Amino acid sequence: MPKCLIVFFSQGGTTGRIAASIAQGLAAGNHVVDLHNLKEGLPPDPGAYDILGIGTPAYNFRAPFIVADYLKRLPALSGKPVFAFMLEGAYGGDAGNDVRRALAAKGGKEMGYERYHGADYFLGYLKHGYLLSPDAPKPGSIARAEQFGQEVAACCAGKTYARPEYDPSPAMIYHLERFLTNRFFIRQMYSRLLWVNRKKCNACGICVKLCPTRNIREGKGGQPRFGRDCMLCFSCEMKCPQDAIASPITWFMFWPFMVYNTTQASRDLSIEHVRVVHERGRTSVVKTEARKGN
């Protein structure tokens, strides 16, 4: 039986759920599948597998750095069948393209690409009162993912693959947002500005456990100390039950982007949203506006 490795990054669980459904589809097509979330560390050597799948959420209209770094480190794929999938809260921009291009550059032979909606727990939007694509992925997407897995299995077995075009590049303003969240700024500026309120922090350690890049260590009295390897996922700040962590996401200069993005998404009939309040690590829905979405 052909062996498939699916490597993905999932902080909120939606990319993981889609990965598991794709795995079911591949298994139905007689493949043995191993799943690996990059937040658990490095995956097994893809050389031991016949097929490699990569799943990514969109982070600031690109693939998150943890995924980009993994792709960079991959050895030459020399014609190995590969596939990719991307989760987006609203507009994924180049996230899927980043993965597909990196796999192609390594010599992978693309056998499938799909995109799905995933619940968007981006702290900037939550603080602005919006949760985009709540409850996603929905059952329709889960079923589509399983079908996608079967399709990949069929293409690897010789069925003709109709390669989709790359996703359209995002609008200019999203390029600017992407630029403002580039690695240089994160290392040299934002990561130095992560801040913990020592009076509020009760050293619960949640932020340390959640950080996907292991950038947070326990400092004096068990309170967090931040390094420079932040990837701006904001999980630490979002999940802090004491609201003790602050980051540049609430800065005045970013606010117009939050307003623009959430206004665009809330006017887009293909994207569901609910109004929320985010406090003490919890997101509570205050108003539901029923939309179709998937």
Q: Which of 70, 85, 91, 148 binds ligand FMN (CB under 6 A)?
A: 91
Identity of the residue, 99 or 203, whose beta carbon is nearer to ligand FMN in the bound complex: 99
Q: Which of 35, 77, 87, 230 binds ligand FMN (CB under 6 A)?
A: 87
- Position 58 contacts ligand FMN (CB under 6 A): yes
Residues whose CB falls within 8 Å of the CB of residue 155, separated by 6 or more in sequence, listed in order: 81, 111, 112, 161
Q: Which of 7, 25, 60, 272 binds ligand FMN (CB under 6 A)?
A: 60
Residue recorded with tokens 């889609």 = 18
Cis peptide bond N-terminal to 75, omega within 30: no
Shortest distance, position 142 Cβ to ligand FMN, whole Å = 13
Residues in the chain: 294
Report the site for ligand FMN in 111-140 (rule: CB under 6 A). 118-122
Number of residues that bind ligand FMN (CB under 6 A): 27
One character per residue 186-225, x = contact with ligand FMN (rule: CB under 6 A): ----------------------------------------
Shortest distance, position 45 Cβ to ligand FMN, whole Å = 24
CA 241, 247, 252 angle in degrees (round to 5)? 120
* 21 phi, psi to nearest 5 deg: -70, -40
Count of CB atoms within 10 A of residue 97's CB?
A: 20
Identity of the residue, 33 or 63, whose beta carbon is nearer to ligand FMN in the bound complex: 63
Shortest distance, position 208 Cβ to ligand FMN, whole Å = 18
Q: Which of 25, 29, 57, 81 binds ligand FMN (CB under 6 A)?
A: 57
Q: Which of 43, 89, 149, 293 binds ligand FMN (CB under 6 A)?
A: 89
Report the site for ligand FMN in 2-31 (rule: CB under 6 A). 10-16
* Contact between 87 and 116 (Cβ < 8 Å): yes
Strand partners, 8: 37, 55
Output the CA–CA distances (angstroms, integers) from residue 166 to 98, 101, 163, 170, 213, in the order listed. Answer: 10, 9, 9, 12, 29
Within its chain, how far is the Cα of 173 from the centroid? 20
- Position 271 contacts ligand FMN (CB under 6 A): no
Within its chain, how far is the Cα of 132 from the centroid? 14
Nearest to 275 by CA among 123, 126, 137: 126
Shortest distance, position 38 Cβ to ligand FMN, whole Å = 11
* Binding footprint of ligand FMN on the chain (CB under 6 A): 10-16, 57-61, 87-93, 118-122, 232-234
